[in-house]
Structure 1
């Protein structure tokens, strides 16, 4: 319970295990990080994702690599419960306007390293969905 964010602990009555509560909390917070526009948080102008409207996804792989590095650094900076993260992008076969990336993270819980894997989709409207693979 101590690894949940304050507002998640207040009034929380759950029968889920502490491990599952922590992993769910991390998932929600990464979702918030990825769906916050950079510059919109008054206390920290670097929190969140940049505006992608000027990027051209089909012009080369450098943009993808830059995005992978950016997301990795962003998550490590703002989600302190994560020890390491690896991000790999791939193009959607069904829709060329979607960008899919797999986010592999490691969290230490009870002196054990627990892997977390997310499939993440950057949609044409800029919204990022995050689905944790269990």
Structure 2
């Protein structure tokens, strides 16, 4: 199977929007990282079972995770890692660290992600945080 070299890609609408930006203002690596961040935000906030074409897309509701697991934080981290590896093909070698809870926001879950991103025949380390707030909404920071 041949790998198609399409350069840094995003969704069709992202590529159209970026094509409309004058080339002097475009940063290909920055555009790739923004695209990955947007995609992660979308896939993590999709509830498992809500996409008929790919029923395993997304993350289960925390109530479902809590009902089958004693350690909510570790199970959620494993679920996030599995979702990232499956639905964000531009990154690999994902490592997730659970960040200790903030005493001012005890219902929030925070995770630190370190992954590898392939960009223009080079590999780079990508680090970001994911925050699951008290409304069960994932934010990629």
Identify the TM-score tier after normalising by the shorter chain.
0.7 to 0.9
Which whole-Å CA distance do the structure 1 matches of 2:41 and 2:103 have between them? 24
Return the match for 1:98 from 101, 108, 116: 108
Structure with the larger strand share: 1
Which whole-Å CA distance do the structure 1 matches of 2:85 and 2:34 have between them? 17
Question: How many positions carry a matched residue from both structures?
Answer: 129
Return the match for 1:69 from 78, 99, 121: 78
Kindly tell me: are residues 19 and 127 of structure 1, through their superposed partners in 2, closer, same or farther at Cα, counting changes over 3 Å? same
Question: Are the aligned partners of 2:8 and 2:120 in contact in 1 as well (CA < 8 Å)?
Answer: no
Of 66-75 and 43-52, the range deviating more from structure 2: 66-75
Structure with the larger helix share: 2
Which whole-Å CA distance do the structure 1 matches of 2:64 and 2:29 have between them? 40
TM-score (norm 2): 0.81
Aligned to 1:6: 12
Higher gyration radius (CA): 2
In angstroms, what is the RMSD of aligned CA positions? 2.0
- Provide structure 2 residue ranges, at least 5 long, that are not aligned to the other structure: 1-6
Secondary structure of the residue that 2:63 maps to in structure 1? coil
Kindly tell me: are residues 55 and 80 of structure 1, through their superposed partners in 2, closer, same or farther at Cα, counting changes over 3 Å? closer
Which whole-Å CA distance do the structure 1 matches of 2:31 and 2:104 have between them? 34
